[in-house]
Amino acid sequence: MTLSVFRAIHTAVSPHSLIFRRSRASFCCSVNRPSSSSSAVSATPVSTVRIPLFLREATGTATISELHAWRKWAQTLVSSVGSKFEDADNGPGPELLCREIRWMLEDVVEANLDVVNRLSDETAFGKDGDVVRLRAGLDELYCLWEERIEKRRPFQYLVGCDHWRDLVVCVQEGVLIPRPETEMIVDMVEEVVSRDKRLAEGIWADLGTGSGALGIGIARILRNGGKVVATDISEVAISVASFNVNRYGLQDKIELRQGSWFEPLEDVKGKLSGLVSNPPYIPSMNIAGLQAEVGQHEPRLALDGGKDGLDYLLHLCENSALALESGGFFAFETNGGSQSKFIADVMTNRSNFSFRDVKIVADLSGIQRFVTGFRQ
Ligand SMILES: C[S@@+](CC[C@H](N)C(=O)[O-])C[C@H]1O[C@@H](n2cnc3c(N)ncnc32)[C@H](O)[C@@H]1O
């Protein structure tokens, strides 16, 4: 995991809260700006995808002092909130919210880190009438920050992207914001494919791909010939994933298919070299208690795993033996603790001994987050 490039890391890692951090990649993104006539990888329309701030044309302008006034106003809103969000549901505190103000400016001000730095310099404010080019109008900036504070709209939805591993993936309402702990699945895949050329050149499936982050991360480490089939039941997720796949130029390596879990995988049944999934796993009764950013804004379809949170994990367990080829690898993300123990037990003892080397792997916070193993 490329922790060293992260500009800021928030404290506890929990999929029930949103962990905000960013990498320097926001300024040195090596991928191309998508063209309006992008060649879609599938028949899925990408027209419904909202272009994130950092990819927009800079058609607006503002003076440095206008931006300074916006920043001061945004900080005043943060001060008025204080630790209210933290106290209520472990939400973002003032320090993090202030960092988000800066990140928002970085995305909005056209390729000019110097301007953003000057905005942090108290002595530079109010004197500077220089005009800078913006990717959003000032009015929009005011509206966005109001939504952040008043509606607790997640920062990633405001700016339309999330910095995940070494990627910048576009996200919007209707699609889960990928979490840092899920990055570890790519690391685990990287390890197994580095040891087994056959796996590195095989077909992998990412079930419930959401923004496509996991599928894209895996596609980038497979060798020539290696492919990913990424599925999701949500049309918005498939559209957003398609946009992200195109942006990373991976149309030939990732095939997106809309449908429920294994349903779209009939043609590759028994042929998969790998199967990864971060399915919805939060017990239904816990959804109401989630951090407002998550519970009120992220799609329930991506969170709710049924009564015990195990509905989809068990479905994955039941169908993996038929989907994977001999020697194929699987990695599932869980809610941790008893959930991962239960899933590991199912894969070890209740699967007609179809799997070997079943392990529980902890995330970086020490939570027993993942269950991994191999098809016999
Ligand atoms: C926890 S999210 C994970 C998204 C993404 N893989 C990630 O880690 O950021 C679970 C995903 O499963 C998808 N999903 C829910 N029910 C599904 C189903 N029956 N078949 C396929 N995908 C489903 C949701 O739309 C959502 O994108």
Distance in Å, CA 273 to ligand 1 centroid: 20
Whole-structure pTM value: 0.89
The residue whose CA has the least distance to atom 14 of ligand 1 is 208
**According to the model, what pLDDT value does residue 29 have?**
29
**According to the model, what pLDDT value does residue 46 have?**
55
Across the chain, mean pLDDT equals 88
* Residues in Cβ contact with 132 at an 8 Å cutoff, skipping those fewer than 6 apart: 61, 62, 63, 64, 67, 109, 110, 112, 115
Ligand 1 lined by 212 (C-beta under 6 Å): no
**According to the model, what pLDDT value does residue 223 have?**
94
**According to the model, what pLDDT value does residue 84 have?**
98
Query: pLDDT tier at 117 (50, 70, 90 boundaries)?
Result: confident
**According to the model, what pLDDT value does residue 350 have?**
86
Helices 311-323, 338-349: inter-axial angle, 10-degree rounding: 30
The residue whose CA has the least distance to atom 19 of ligand 1 is 260
Q: Is 21 a residue whose pLDDT tops 90?
A: no
Ligand 1 lined by 217 (C-beta under 6 Å): no
Reported in sequence order, the residue ranges of 243-365 that DSSP labels E, i.e. its strands, are 254-258, 272-277, 324-333, 355-362
Say if residues 154 and 18 touch (Cβ distance below 8 Å).
yes
Ligand 1 lined by 279 (C-beta under 6 Å): yes
**According to the model, what pLDDT value does residue 112 have?**
65
By three-state DSSP, how is residue 181 classified? helix
Structure confidence by residue, pLDDT tens digits, 225-267: 999 999 999 999 999 999 999 999 999 999 999 999 999 999 9
Ligand 1 lined by 189 (C-beta under 6 Å): no
Query: pLDDT tier at 121 (50, 70, 90 boundaries)?
Result: low
The residue whose CA has the least distance to atom 6 of ligand 1 is 209
Structure confidence by residue, pLDDT tens digits, 208-225: 999 999 999 999 999 999
Reported in sequence order, the residue ranges of the chain that DSSP labels E, i.e. its strands, are 60-63, 131-134, 161-164, 167-170, 203-207, 227-232, 254-258, 272-277, 324-333, 355-362, 368-375
**According to the model, what pLDDT value does residue 6 have?**
30
Residue 229: closest CA among 211, 246, 216, 239 = 216
Greater model confidence, 43 or 1 = 43
Ligand 1 lined by 156 (C-beta under 6 Å): no
Q: Is 306 a residue whose pLDDT tops 50?
A: yes
Q: Is 307 a residue whose pLDDT tops 80?
A: yes
Distance in Å, CA 237 to ligand 1 centroid: 8
Q: Is 38 a residue whose pLDDT tops 70?
A: no
Residue 274: closest CA among 190, 213, 357 = 190
Ligand 1 lined by 182 (C-beta under 6 Å): yes
Q: For residue 237, which atom of ligand 1 is closest to its CA?
A: 27
Ligand 1 lined by 232 (C-beta under 6 Å): yes
Lowest-confidence pick of 41-45, 63-67, 280-284: 41-45
Q: What DSSP state is assigned to residue 135?
A: S
**According to the model, what pLDDT value does residue 44 have?**
47
Distance, CA of 313 to CA of 336 (rounded, Å): 12
Say if residues 206 and 230 touch (Cβ distance below 8 Å).
yes
Distance in Å, CA 171 to ligand 1 centroid: 14
Distance, CA of 359 to CA of 275 (rounded, Å): 15
Distance, CA of 230 to CA of 241 (rounded, Å): 9
Distance in Å, CA 279 to ligand 1 centroid: 5
Q: For residue 279, which atom of ligand 1 is closest to its CA?
A: 10
Ligand 1: residue of 169, 171, 179, 209 to mutate (most ligand atoms within 8 A of CB) is 209
Strand partners, 277: 207, 332
Q: For residue 177, which atom of ligand 1 is closest to its CA?
A: 9
Distance, CA of 206 to CA of 218 (rounded, Å): 9
Provide the 10 A C-beta neighbour count for residue 189: 25
Ligand 1 lined by 278 (C-beta under 6 Å): yes
Distance in Å, CA 281 to ligand 1 centroid: 10
Tokens for 28, please give them.
Answer: 């040195």
Q: What average pLDDT does range 97-101 have in this prediction?
A: 97
Distance in Å, CA 241 to ligand 1 centroid: 12
Q: Look-up: residue for tokens 């479905």?
A: 315
Structure confidence by residue, pLDDT tens digits, 129-177: 788 999 999 999 999 999 999 999 999 999 999 999 999 999 999 999 9
Buried b (16+ CB within 10 A) or exposed e, 86-100: eeebebbbbebbbbb
**According to the model, what pLDDT value does residue 18 have?**
62
Q: For residue 263, which atom of ligand 1 is closest to its CA?
A: 20
**According to the model, what pLDDT value does residue 127 have?**
57
Greater model confidence, 12 or 185 = 185
* Residues in Cβ contact with 347 at an 8 Å cutoff, skipping those fewer than 6 apart: 317, 320, 330, 355, 358, 371, 373
**According to the model, what pLDDT value does residue 28 have?**
27
Structure confidence by residue, pLDDT tens digits, 85-97: 999 999 999 999 9
**According to the model, what pLDDT value does residue 45 have?**
52
